[in-house]
């Protein structure tokens, strides 16, 4: 993107998007917001693609696929935010290649953090006998879900993470 497009995106984000959120002016918190926004976009895009494919093959019932994939949002969005904040604090980046690679690696790290969040909740619920499963089964299910989620969604999450990293680093460079 050219710098005028980046400036326009920066203005739009500040006025209408994540730039309005608390402490968005701090680069690390802004990186967390950018990662969380990328997670929302990737999840919804994946759900829309799968729902569209299901509509063509299964009829209108396929539209409900979007509801299923949106159940990941309460785990994926906070995980992406944490990964974005922590990664910026560990390696503040102002170069475009680092932003692209960092966004891609951040997407992968988000899978791990979301699995830990989901696994902890599921294991705690099973330990309290709320699910009918034993804790070992809950942990095993969580890691199976991680593998399945990665295999099914990497093609959308990693490119969107790379794009988010690219855009965010350029927005930071333009605003500084």
pLDDT of residue 6: 64
Instruction: Collect the ranges in the chain with pLDDT lower than 50.
Output: 1
- Inside any domain, residue 17: no
- Inside any domain, residue 9: no
- Inside any domain, residue 72: yes
Q: How many residues in total does the chain contain?
A: 176
- Inside any domain, residue 4: no
pLDDT of residue 1: 45
Domain that holds residue 31: 25-172
pLDDT of residue 160: 95
- Inside any domain, residue 6: no
Domain count, the chain: 1
Q: Which two three-digit tokens encode residue 122?
A: 């599921």
138-145: Cβ within 8 A, 24+ apart: 142/115, 142/118, 143/115, 143/119, 145/115, 145/118
- Inside any domain, residue 49: yes
């Amino acid at each position: 993107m050219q710098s005028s497009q980046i400036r326009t995106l920066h203005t739009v984000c500040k006025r209408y998007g994540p730039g309005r959120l608390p402490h968005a002016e701090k680069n690390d918190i802004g990186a967390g917001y950018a990662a969380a926004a990328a997670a929302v976009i990737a999840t919804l895009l994946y759900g829309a693609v799968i729902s569209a494919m299901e509509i063509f093959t299964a009829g209108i019932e396929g539209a409900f696929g979007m509801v299923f994939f949106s159940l990941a949002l309460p785990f994926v969005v906070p995980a992406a935010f944490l990964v974005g904040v922590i990664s910026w604090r560990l390696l503040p980046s102002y170069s475009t290649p680092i932003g692209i690679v960092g966004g891609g690696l951040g997407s992968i790290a988000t899978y791990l953090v979301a699995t830990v969040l989901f696994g902890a909740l599921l294991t705690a619920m099973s330990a309290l006998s709320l699910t009918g499963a034993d804790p070992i089964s809950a942990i095993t299910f969580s890691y199976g879900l991680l593998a399945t989620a990665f295999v099914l969604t990497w093609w959308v999450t990693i490119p969107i993470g790379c794009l988010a990293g690219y855009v965010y680093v350029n927005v930071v460079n333009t605003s500084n």
